[in-house]
Amino acid sequence: MRFRLKSGHALGYLPSGRGETTLVMLHPIGVRAQVWQALAAELASEYRVLAADAPGHGESDVPSGPMSIGDMAASVQELLEAIGGDRIVPIGCSMGSSMAAALAAAMSPSGKIAALVLSNSSYQPSAERGTAHIQRAEAAKLGMPNVLETTLNRWFSAEVLATRPEMVAEVARWLLAGDPVVHARCWAALGNFSYEPLLPALTMPTLAIGGELDKAARPMATRALAEALPAGSYVEIAGAGHLSPLERPAEFAAVLRKFLRDHLGAS
């Protein structure tokens, strides 16, 4: 489905499930809302799910110019203000975690953000990571095939690359279908993003989820994010790489379900 924003651009999203709590799922750079489908299926009997395509990804229109992480989150906020309901839990993975945090901070005065989940994301990127963001942006400008192999090797373990070819091929198709200019702009946006200014507004219960084998956001960096959050906690999924909700949807759902029930009660 597509939602028309005030800008005139459309935002793609996939609705599923039902319940009083809306889980809004935000994906990593270069992929699309379908990355959440297996996880959404695990939770559909208990929760309402809105998996959104970030601007310029999937079924969402390409923005006319560069966008910050805050700008990207604001487009999702428009969707939620229209159809999100009164109890919302943003859930992000990688770039989607940055968007989820920005979204939660922006919507915190409304009282609708009940909890927050940030997976496979790092706190306070180092100077070296900032340099890597710039390099990836420049590489993307040369075309998505130029970044495909390095991205897949960073996201997946050698075992997953060897034993789950259909999943890896689907992610590769999403990456190759992406707009290289959008991809480059998203890396630039990530390079300019920091969790630090958002922390005072992120007082809601927040779960940071790490992947044991994540090479892109090391578990210790995700744990550091949990420790920096006012009400943060940390869980690590054994054997998972950077796309933890895609690789291990059942385990991810179990962790998520326990966190939500502990903090929100019934769905």
Given a cut of 90, whether residue 131 has pLDDT beyond it is no
State residue 217 phi and psi, 5-degree precision: -130, 95
| Residues 102, 97: Cα–Cα separation, whole Å | 9
- The residue ranges of every structural domain in the chain are 2-126+194-264
pLDDT at 223: 98
Give the model confidence (pLDDT) of 222-236 as tens digits.
999 999 999 999 999
**Residue range 49-95, pLDDT digits in tens:** 999 999 999 999 999 999 999 999 999 999 999 999 999 999 999 99
pLDDT band of 129, cuts 50, 70, 90: confident
Cβ-Cβ contacts under 8 Å for 64 (sequence gap 6 or more): none
Q: Whole-angstrom Cα distance, residue 106 to residue 70?
A: 9
Cα separation, 264 vs 256, whole angstroms = 11
The 3-class SS string of 8-51 reads CCEEEEEEEECCCCEEEEECCCCCCHHHHHHHHHHHCCCCEEEE
The model's pTM: 0.97
Greatest Cα pair distance, the chain, in angstroms, is 49
Identify the pLDDT of residue 179: 97
CATH superfamily of 2-126+194-264: Alpha/Beta hydrolase fold, catalytic domain (3.40.50.1820)
Residue 126 has pLDDT above 90, yes or no: no
For residue 50, which of 93, 99, 95, 17 has the smallest C-alpha distance? Answer: 17
State the average pLDDT over residues 11-27.
97
